[in-house]
Chains A and B, each alone.
Chain A
Amino acid sequence: DQQVKQNSPSLSVQEGRISILNCDYTNSMFDYFLWYKKYPAEGPTFLISISSIKDKNEDGRFTVFLNKSAKHLSLHIVPSQPGDSAVYFCAASAQGGSEKLVFGKGMKLTVNP
């Protein structure tokens, strides 16, 4: 039972354009959401997070949007850079539960120069 879903396995964009990565979740108890970036042969690196009390969080070129009613979040990267090419994981956790993160399968982003 996949509680966090990243339905598109890959995305390719041109440098300078916007990258939009989507994530859906099924567990209504999730109230904290994170995006991680992973390069080959490295562990995931935290990118940005959002609490369920907010619907948007921005950090430089990265913005995460949360739509609780749709159980959907998205990560926007603008402008995209070749160094952003990596696998991106969406993750979620539930306060009052075990606080462990539940990850999606990931999406491979390729930014072409």
Chain B
Amino acid sequence: EVQLVESGGGLVQPGGSLRLSCTASGFTFSNYWMHWVRQAPGKGLVWVSRIKSDGTYTNSADSVKGRFTISRDNAKNTLYLQMNSLRVEDTAVYYCARAGIFPVSPLFSWGQGTLVTVSS
């Protein structure tokens, strides 16, 4: 069974940093593209970033470019999102999601999410 467990969320002041983790199990992590998607309280889903299976290629939404960095450690079956220069508008539940083995594919499995609150 595919399992994705996010951690690392919490309360941080504007301008601060946070690193989210997503630990994967139940599948061969190193074969799949992985994504981060966020959801502000009471709002819809917004794509944040994605990373290739071997970690050599990434893409991010314009709203987070230069501030957020997606990475992965395939030996640890873990996906990361380093978030710097956080803004109030980054407040959201952050989900990691497993896509397919190809760059163009649905988001097949999702973690339960971790809440990031940016507030002074």
Q: Do A and B come from one complex?
A: no
